[in-house]
Amino acid sequence: MGDVRSAAALLAARPSHDGVPYERYTQEHWQLIDAKLPGFVPQWLRELLMEVRIAGACAEIPVPSEYPRPVDHFVLTRPSSALIFVYHPEYAWHLQELHKHGFACLGDGGYGYCWAIRNDGSTDPEVYFVEQSGWDPKPSEPTRGMLFPQMTVSELLTQAAHWKPATRPAR
């Protein structure tokens, strides 16, 4: 857990790419999430997101070569967006499926993708990149259709902490 906390502290110290301050989750946010998806997010992640102001942080993270683009977006979901994903029927079905198969959403990947972790008790689990329409879980193979970027949560947060947005030429 120390590696995850250290990586989260690095990320919290990085200025927001868009100038919007990062956020913390509150106990009330988790109560509202639990009302729809009890136990969806591991306790260690709940505590981390309440202690460290990192919700809203984003980065571009490399993904495996079998994916058509070499990098993709990662956004550590802000609390209000998390509530939309949990309650809105257009998004909630995917989170319910992740939960049913023992996964939790770590962040939004945009364009129908998400970054997920296995909710198995590990305090620094491996991270999966999931295309909502391409994920085809089977009881014997729940990660079928997930891309595994070969990193843990602490490694992903560390990469995000060191990410710098591309600079655009002045107009």
Q: Domains (ranges, CATH) in the chain?
A: 2-162 (3.40.1580)
Residue 55 has pLDDT above 90, yes or no: yes
Q: Where are the beta strands (DSSP E) in 92-158?
A: 103-110, 113-118, 127-131, 146-147
Long-range contacts of range 125-128, CB-CB < 8 Å, 24 or more positions apart?
A: 125/152, 125/153, 126/150, 126/151, 126/152, 127/151, 127/152, 127/153, 127/155, 127/156, 128/103
User: What is the mean predicted confidence (pLDDT) over 49-69?
Assistant: 85
Residue 169 has pLDDT above 60, yes or no: no
pLDDT > 70 fraction of the chain, expressed in percent and rounded: 91
Most confident of 49-58, 90-99, 133-142: 49-58
Distance CA 95, CA 79 (A): 15
How much is the pLDDT for 72? Answer: 78
Residue 70 has pLDDT above 60, yes or no: no
148 compared with 76, residue with greater pLDDT: 76
How much is the pLDDT for 12? Answer: 97
Q: 26 vs 43, 46, 51, 55, 60, CA distance in Å?
A: 13, 9, 9, 11, 27
Mean per-residue pLDDT over the chain, rounded:
87
Residue 155 one-letter amino acid: E
How much is the pLDDT for 91? Answer: 81
Residue 171 has pLDDT above 70, yes or no: no
User: What is the mean predicted confidence (pLDDT) over 141-151?
Assistant: 78
Please give the model's pTM, rounded to 2 decimal places.
0.89
65 compared with 24, residue with greater pLDDT: 24
Distance CA 26, CA 14 (A): 21
User: What is the mean predicted confidence (pLDDT) over 63-67?
Assistant: 68
